[in-house]
Amino acid sequence: MTIAFWCVLAAGLMPYLATTIAKAGGERYNNRDPRAWLERQEGFRKRADSAQANAFEAFPFFAAAVIVASLTGAPQERIDALAVIFVVARVAYLACYLADWHWARSLVWLIGWLCTVTIFVSGVQ
């Protein structure tokens, strides 16, 4: 299996990391209605929940890009390198969201998005 495919797995698990951060140790956490509980949160818990939603939004495009690039014969080293950068950017995105560094968060989001677009078109000759 390629490094890029492992990165797809890592990106697919990232939303669950964010939601675990949002819920862990939360006062009066209600597992019967976790979405309503999360909506009432503030601070880093609210931001972790928002990061979780964004991670779910970013995942399909990234996964599709890796598959398309692989199917179109893009250089595997390029796909792997960009996929690793994407995952690192998404980890940085989560960290920036938790720290409330909105400008840095936007920058690392853009880096991840550009990686995804570049992966997608890597097989174009």
CA distances from 5 to 1, 10, 60, 107 (A): 6, 9, 13, 25
| 92 half-sphere exposure, CB direction, 13 A CA radius | 16
Give CA–CA dist 50/99, Å, rounded: 13
pTM: 0.93
Domains of the chain: 3-121 (1.20.120.550)
pLDDT tens per residue, range 38-52: 888 899 999 999 999
Q: What pLDDT score was predicted for residue 99?
A: 97
- Joined together, the tokens standing for residue 96 give 């920036």
Q: What pLDDT score was predicted for residue 18?
A: 95
pLDDT tens per residue, range 52-111: 999 999 999 999 999 999 999 999 999 999 999 999 999 999 999 999 999 999 999 999
CA distances from 91 to 28, 39, 86 (A): 28, 23, 9
CA distances from 96 to 27, 55, 76, 92, 107 (A): 23, 13, 30, 6, 10
Amino acid at 52: Q
